[in-house]
Amino acid sequence: MTNSRDASCCRELTDEQSFREMVESLVAFRSDTEKRRFPRFPTAAALSGRLGLRGFDGTLVVGEVSSSAEAGWNHDGEGRRRGAGIEEIGVNFVEFSEGGAQLQLRYNDFLHLQRSSLYLKIQNHRVPVQLRWWKQCGYASRGGFIFANRIDSDTFLAQFISNLNTDLIDFLMSTYLNGLAAFTKPAGVFIYMAIYYGLRLKFLEAVAEHSTSPGFGKNERTSKIPVTTSDDYSCSYHMAQIIQNRSDSLLQSAVRKYIKPYNDIGCSIIGMHEDVVLLKEEANSTILNSILFTKDDCQYSTKILPKLSFLHHNFLQLKRLLVPGVFEGDIFEIQFRYYSNVIQRIDLARKITSQGSG
């Protein structure tokens, strides 16, 4: 009799399965501090092979900025500038998440980066970051950077990451619908995960806009609708719901249905310029951090907000054209209505606090 290990070694694996096993073997060596808190998705530029062809997405500023630094800049032709004790290095986004990003840059002194204060400058907006890991990758280097601040407290960063997610979904759907690449069901599940995570990012956009609005936190009441506080909605809102209702059989059943496409099919993009696979832990994290849980008697919006229409439209295309039979049932589409209701409440609270501070 052949034991299970021999059988595993002898079976024929698909490209997706082979890549998954390789990634799983690498991830197994990560310490608890190295594990990702949030799933990371590739950028459209990285998948399409156009990374850096349109210039840099932003710059990594190394060192402290002084008011007189700009006068002493020197250019070296490699996407870097040097000033009075600081450097600016051109960077491109390879992967993104709400907690950080993988960046590509031409630089080789990672020890200097570890010792320096760092921030990303994107469209003149500053995002403090910390270097997490580093590797040489061909002619350039790649580094994993984590954001020093939470995404739900920075309106620009929330919108920027959400826009990267939108570009990714648009690129993948256009590629497969136009027959530019052979579609696979694991790719369809990957798009599904990106769409659902896109809903969460839209939610975090609304939270960031509210938390940075004038009058926020003053506990003013200008109508019968209570003004929300930072404790009402935040990055941890979804998980708080899960923990609060973890013994609810409806919740447990819903979570199983949302993760079922992953368990049945897998989740990966293979054959483009970057191979990507979501492991089980990452898939579970994506679902748990993306779904909104409400009781059956909870009133939710019957209309989908315009700001969610792009995600909803692409989900319908995915459901009807790419993966028929996988996302059947109201449970998948109802998330768009749940999100519409919650975001609508956050937007209304923001207007109330803004009016109250005027």
Tell me the pLDDT tens digit for each residue of 254-305. Answer: 899 999 999 999 999 999 999 999 998 899 999 999 998 865 545 566 789 9
CB atoms within 10 A of CB 124: 7
| Gyration radius from the chain CA atoms | 22
Residue that is last in its domain, among 91, 120, 149: 149
The predicted-structure confidence for 159-189, as pLDDT tens digits, reads as follows 999 999 999 999 999 999 999 999 999 999 9
Q: Are residues 279 and 203 in the same domain?
A: yes
Q: Are residues 200 and 224 in the same domain?
A: yes
2 pLDDT higher than 70: no
Residue-level pLDDT at 15: 57
Pairing assessment for the beta strands 58-62 and 87-96 based on DSSP bridges: antiparallel
Q: Are residues 113 and 227 in the same domain?
A: no
B/e letters for 189-214, b = 16+ CB within 10 Å, e = fewer, are bbbbbbbbbbbbbbbbbbbbbbbebe
Residue-level pLDDT at 23: 41
Phi, psi dihedral angles at 127 (to 5 degrees):
-125, 105
Instruction: Kindly state whether residue 35 falls inside one of the protein's structural domains.
Output: no
How many structural domains comprise the chain?
A: 2
Contact 20, 268 (CB under 8 A): yes
More confident residue, 4 or 125: 125
Residue-level pLDDT at 158: 96
Phi, psi dihedral angles at 18 (to 5 degrees):
-65, -45
Give the pLDDT band (50/70/90) at residue 106: very high
Helix (H) or strand (E) holding 58: strand 58-62
Q: CA 131 to CA 257: how far, in whole Å?
A: 37
Residue 326's domain comprises 152-357
Between the alpha carbon of residue 205 and those of residues 42, 209, 233, the distances in Å are 20, 6, 11
Helices (H), the chain: 4-10, 15-27, 44-48, 110-115, 155-177, 185-211, 237-244, 249-265, 280-288, 309-317, 330-357
Residue-level pLDDT at 46: 97
354 pLDDT higher than 90: no
Q: Are residues 260 and 215 in the same domain?
A: yes
Residue-level pLDDT at 226: 44
Q: Are residues 223 and 281 in the same domain?
A: yes
CB atoms within 10 A of CB 88: 22
Residues 6+ apart with CB under 8 A from 231: none
The predicted-structure confidence for 126-147, as pLDDT tens digits, reads as follows 999 999 999 987 788 999 999 9
Residue-level pLDDT at 86: 84
Q: What is the pTM of this model?
A: 0.82
Residue-level pLDDT at 329: 86
Q: Are residues 135 and 273 in the same domain?
A: no
For the segment 191-195, the average pLDDT, to the nearest whole number, is: 98
CATH number at residue 109: 2.40.10
Give the pLDDT band (50/70/90) at residue 211: confident
Instruction: Kindly state whether residue 44 falls inside one of the protein's structural domains.
Output: no
Residue that is last in its domain, among 107, 126, 149: 149
Hey, what amino acid is at 344?
Answer: Q
Give the closest residue to 350 by CA, choosing from 202, 229, 235.
Answer: 229
| Chain centroid, CA 233 distance in Å | 18
Q: Are residues 311 and 224 in the same domain?
A: yes
Instruction: Kindly state whether residue 212 falls inside one of the protein's structural domains.
Output: yes
Residue-level pLDDT at 227: 45
Q: Are residues 128 and 181 in the same domain?
A: no
Residue-level pLDDT at 116: 92
Residues paired with 118 in a beta bridge: 62, 129
Instruction: Kindly state whether residue 350 falls inside one of the protein's structural domains.
Output: yes
Q: CA 264 to CA 266: how far, in whole Å?
A: 6
Instruction: Kindly state whether residue 209 falls inside one of the protein's structural domains.
Output: yes
| Chain centroid, CA 119 distance in Å | 19
Residue-level pLDDT at 298: 55
Instruction: Kindly state whether residue 32 falls inside one of the protein's structural domains.
Output: no
For the segment 102-113, the average pLDDT, to the nearest whole number, is: 91
Q: Are residues 242 and 332 in the same domain?
A: yes
Q: Are residues 104 and 184 in the same domain?
A: no
CA dihedral 205, 211, 215, 220 (to 10 degrees): 110
Q: Are residues 88 and 179 in the same domain?
A: no
When the pLDDT of each residue in the chain is averaged and rounded to a whole number, the result is 81
Name, of 169-178, 241-250, 337-346, the range with top average pLDDT.
169-178
Contact 140, 89 (CB under 8 A): no
Residue-level pLDDT at 37: 67
Residue-level pLDDT at 128: 96
Q: Are residues 59 and 175 in the same domain?
A: no
Residue-level pLDDT at 240: 83
Name, of 13-27, 31-45, 140-154, the range with top average pLDDT.
140-154
Give the closest residue to 292 by CA, choosing from 249, 344, 347, 254.
Answer: 254
81 pLDDT higher than 90: no
Instruction: Kindly state whether residue 8 falls inside one of the protein's structural domains.
Output: no
Instruction: Kindly state whether residue 23 falls inside one of the protein's structural domains.
Output: no
Indicate the burial class of 264 (C-beta count within 10 angstroms; 0-12, 13-18, 19 or more). exposed
5 pLDDT higher than 80: no
Residue that is last in its domain, among 95, 129, 149: 149
Give the pLDDT band (50/70/90) at residue 324: very high
